């Protein structure tokens, strides 16, 4: 089995000792991903924009891994306020509504107070 590391280009990956994603055989493990926009080097303010950017960042990592959102089998969502769940669900449904991975959502603090959501996924590449 081959192992490949996928990077977002963030210096923080090396400092903290992680990869945006790891490909191990047919599996792709995408690290917890926030709504940070690496093109503009900014974090959108709204939960809606952060959620959409999280999904874009994840899709990019999956593409680099030779996979796609359609291959996601597990999703783990962290929101910083309970009422954010109802706001994020429809946006998540736009991407995962037909895919329907096994999923969990919890409410917890994130490393930066400006971050409102973090998403982690696991995908299995299809033959």
Residue 127: per-residue pLDDT? 67
The residues near 22 (Cβ < 8 Å, ≥ 6 apart) are 3, 4, 5, 6, 28, 29
At 30-73, the pLDDT tens digits run 999 999 998 898 999 999 999 999 999 999 999 999 999 999 99
Separation of alpha carbons 76 and 124, rounded Å: 15
At 65-111, the pLDDT tens digits run 999 999 999 999 999 999 999 999 999 999 999 999 999 999 999 99
pLDDT of 12 > 80? The answer is: no
Nearest alpha carbon to residue 44 among 3, 83, 91: 91
Report whether 23 contacts 2 (CB < 8 A): yes
């Amino acid at each position: 089995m081959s192992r490949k590391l996928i990077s977002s280009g963030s210096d923080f990956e090396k400092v903290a000792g992680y990869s945006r994603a790891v490909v191990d055989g047919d599996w792709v493990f995408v690290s917890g991903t926030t709504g940070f926009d690496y093109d503009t080097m900014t974090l959108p303010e709204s939960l809606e924009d952060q959620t959409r950017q999280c999904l874009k960042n994840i899709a990019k990592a999956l593409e680099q891994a030779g996979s796609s959102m359609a291959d996601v089998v597990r999703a783990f969502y962290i929101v910083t306020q309970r009422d954010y769940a109802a706001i994020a669900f429809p946006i998540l449904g736009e991407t995962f509504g037909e895919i329907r991975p096994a999923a969990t959502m919890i409410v917890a603090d994130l490393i930066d107070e400006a971050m409102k959501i973090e998403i982690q996924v696991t995908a299995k590449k299809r033959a």
